[in-house]
Amino acid sequence: MTNKVLITGANKGIGFETARQLGELGWSILLGARNEERGLAAVAELQQAGITAEWIELDLNAVATIQQAADYIKTNHADLNVLINNAGIPGDMQKSPLDFTTAELREVVDVNFFGNFEMIKAFTPILQANNGRILNLSIPTVASPYFHPFAYMTSKAPLNAMIQAFGMEYTQRNIAVEIFGVMPGGVTTDLNGNAEGSFMKTLPEGGKVIVDLLTDGKHRQGQVVNEYGVAMDYEANYLLKEEM
Per-residue pLDDT, 1:
65
Does residue 223 register a pLDDT over 50? yes
Per-residue pLDDT, 198:
62
- The pLDDT confidence band at residue 177, using thresholds 50, 70 and 90, is very high
Domain residue ranges in the chain = 4-239
Contact 152, 91 (CB under 8 A): yes
The class of domain 4-239 in CATH terms is: alpha beta
Threshold 0.75, pTM exceeds: yes
The phi-psi region of residue 194 (left if phi > 0; otherwise alpha if psi is between -120 and 50; otherwise beta) is left
More confident residue, 244 or 59: 59
- Of all residues in the chain, the percent with pLDDT exceeding 90 is 76
